[in-house]
C-alpha cells in the first residue's frame, strides 16, 4: 500500500501510466455500477469479460460496448475480478472469485466493507485473502440496470480503497489503477473507517429521510397541499429501493446503530428544548446544523466556498427553462447547482440557481436586464 495518509490523493496522474492490468478483467454483476466500470475499462482498451445471473443484462451491457460475455475458457487468463453484486452476496461472490481465479486480484464495489471481509476470512478463500482488496465508488443514480450505466459515472468522484492487513501491495496497486482509469479519485481507508464514514454520510441520512417521509404516509390531503421544495429535498433519498438499502444498513448495523444512538440523544435534547420554549437553545441546535452543512466538501472535494441562491420565476412553457440557462451562461457566472420548485397552484416554477456568493449580484442584475423576475 502506498505510503500516504488516509484521505484524498491530491496527485492527478495519467490513468494509463504504468497500468499493471495486463490481462482480461472480469466484471461480475452488470448493473449500473458494474456496467459503468466495465465501460470505463473497455474505453481505454482493456479486455473486459461480463458475467451476471441475468443473461439479458450481459447482452445489454455487451451491446453498449462494455465488454463480452465471459466463458469458462477465459477463467485462467483473468487478472482482475470486479464484484458488483447486491450487498448480501458480496462476501460469497468474492470468495468464489478468489477460488475460481487463482491468479486474479479481486475487488468489490459494495457499500459495506467489514462484513464481506469477515465472510472471506472465515471461509475456504481465507488462504487467498492477500489477493482481495475492497473498494467502493461514491457514485450512483436514481436509475438502475446496465442501460443506466455511463463510462463517465465515476469522473471526479471519490472511490474508497480499503485494503485489509493481509492485502498484497501489488493487489492494492492493481485496484488503484482501475480507480484511476475510471476517472475517480482514490480515498484510502481501512474497512472499519469506511463503514463508519458511510454510516455518517449515507446510511443514517437515508434512514432519517425515510422517517420524515413516513410522516407523510396517510397524512391529510390538505396538509400535503402545503408541500414545498424543502420537504422534497429532505425526503428525496427516502424514495430509494427498500430492499437494497435494507441490505446495506443491515450489513453495517454496528456503525449505524452507534450513530442512531447519537441522533436519538440529540432528538431528545431537541424535544426538551422545544417543549421548554427555549429559543436560544433551539437556535444553537439549528446553528450546529448550519455548521454541519458547511463542513460538507465542495465540488471536486475542495474546501467549501460561500454560496448564494438566486431565485427566478420561470413560466411553465416549452423552451423557457432553456432560455433561462442560456441567459445565465451569457451572464458569465458559473452555476454550481440547480433546483426547481414546481408550484402546483400556478403555471410557473421557481428555479434556484446556486452560485458563488461574490457573483450572485451580477447574475441577478444580468437576468433582470433580460426580463426575468428574480427573488432576492
Q: Tens of pLDDT along 233-287?
A: 899 889 888 998 899 999 999 999 999 999 999 999 999 999 999 999 999 999 9
Res 35: pLDDT: 97
- pLDDT number for residue 18: 60
State the Cα–Cα distance between residues 257 and 199, nearest whole angstrom. Answer: 9
In sequence order, the β-bridge partners of residue 339 are 352
Chain segment 344-353, per-residue pLDDT in tens? 666 778 888 9
* Phi, psi angles (nearest 5°) of residue 354: -95, 120
Radius of gyration of the chain from its Cα atoms, rounded to whole angstroms: 24
Question: Residue 52: CB partners within 8 Å, gap ≥ 6?
Answer: 28, 29, 30, 31, 34, 58, 61
Looking at residues 323-330, what average pLDDT do you find? 91
Cell of 331: 451572464
Query: What are the tens digits of pLDDT across the range 160-210?
Result: 999 999 999 999 999 999 999 999 999 999 999 999 999 999 999 999 999
Q: How far apart, in whole angstroms, are the C-alpha atoms of residue 340 and residue 358?
A: 22
* Torsion from C-alpha of 138, 143, 149, 151, nearest 10 degrees: -50
What pLDDT does 346 receive? Answer: 63
Q: Are 110 and 87 in contact (CB under 8 A)?
A: yes
For cell 446510511, the residue is: 203
Q: Name the pLDDT band for 12 (thresholds 50, 70, 90).
A: very low
The pLDDT value given to residue 142: 64
> Which pLDDT band holds residue 343 (cuts at 50, 70, 90)?
low
Q: What angle do CA 7, 13, 16 make, to 5 degrees?
A: 120
Average confidence score pLDDT of the chain:
89
pLDDT, position 8: 46
Among the ranges given (9-18, 69-78, 121-130, 267-276), the one the predictor scored with the smallest mean pLDDT = 9-18
DSSP class of residue 346 equals S
Instruction: Report yes or no: 236 and 229 within 8 Å, Cβ to Cβ.
Output: no
- What are the structural domains, with CATH classification, of the chain? 7-189 (3.40.50.720), 196-295 (1.10.3660.10), 305-375 (3.30.70.260)
pTM here is: 0.78
- Flag the least confident range among 1-15, 20-34, 111-125, 178-192: 1-15
Half-sphere exposure of 107 (CA within 13 A, CB side): 29
Amino acid at each position: 500500500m502506498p505510503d500516504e495518509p488516509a484521505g484524498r490523493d491530491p496527485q492527478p496522474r495519467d490513468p494509463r501510466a504504468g497500468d499493471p492490468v495486463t490481462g482480461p478483467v472480469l466484471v461480475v454483476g452488470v448493473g449500473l455500477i458494474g456496467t459503468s466500470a466495465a465501460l470505463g475499462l473497455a474505453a481505454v482498451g482493456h479486455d473486459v469479460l461480463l458475467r451476471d445471473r441475468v443473461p439479458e443484462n450481459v447482452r445489454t451491457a455487451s451491446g453498449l460496448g462494455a465488454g463480452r460475455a465471459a466463458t469458462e475458457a477465459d477463467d485462467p487468463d483473468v487478472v482482475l475480478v470486479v464484484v458488483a453484486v447486491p450487498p448480501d452476496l458480496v462476501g460469497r461472490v468474492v470468495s468464489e472469485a478468489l477460488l475460481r481465479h487463482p491468479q486474479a486480484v479481486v475487488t468489490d464495489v459494495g457499500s459495506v466493507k467489514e462484513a464481506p471481509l469477515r465472510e472471506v476470512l472465515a471461509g475456504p478463500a481465507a488462504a487467498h485473502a492477500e489477493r482481495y482488496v475492497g473498494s467502493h465508488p461514491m457514485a450512483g443514480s436514481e436509475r438502475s440496470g446496465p442501460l443506466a450505466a455511463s463510462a463517465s459515472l465515476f469522473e471526479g468522484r471519490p472511490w474508497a480503497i480499503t485494503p485489509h492487513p493481509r492485502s498484497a501491495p501489488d493487489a492494492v496497486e492493481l485496484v488503484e489503477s482501475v480507480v484511476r482509469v475510471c476517472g475517480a479519485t482514490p480515498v484510502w481507508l481501512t474497512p472499519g473507517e469506511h463503514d463508519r464514514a458511510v454510516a455518517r454520510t449515507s446510511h443514517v441520512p437515508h434512514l432519517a429521510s425515510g422517517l420524515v417521509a413516513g410522516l407523510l404516509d396517510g397524512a391529510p390531503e390538505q396538509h400535503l397541499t402545503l408541500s414545498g421544495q424543502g420537504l422534497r429535498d429532505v425526503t428525496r433519498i427516502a424514495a430509494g429501493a427498500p430492499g437494497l438499502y435494507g441490505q446495506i444498513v443491515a450489513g453495517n448495523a454496528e456503525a449505524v446503530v452507534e450513530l442512531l444512538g447519537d441522533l436519538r440523544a440529540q432528538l431528545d435534547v431537541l424535544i426538551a428544548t422545544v417543549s421548554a420554549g427555549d429559543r436560544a437553545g433551539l437556535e444553537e441546535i439549528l446553528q450546529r446544523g448550519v455548521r454541519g452543512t458547511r463542513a460538507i466538501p465542495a465540488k471536486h472535494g475542495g474546501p467549501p466556498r460561500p454560496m448564494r441562491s438566486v431565485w427566478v420565476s420561470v413560466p411553465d412553457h416549452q423552451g423557457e427553462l432553456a432560455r433561462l440557462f442560456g441567459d445565465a451562461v451569457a451572464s458569465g457566472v458559473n452555476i454550481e447547482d440547480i433546483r426547481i420548485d414546481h408550484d402546483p397552484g400556478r403555471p410557473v416554477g421557481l428555479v434556484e440557481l446556486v452560485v458563488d456568493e461574490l457573483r450572485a449580484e451580477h447574475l441577478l442584475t444580468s437576468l433582470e436586464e433580460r426580463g426575468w423576475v428574480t427573488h432576492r
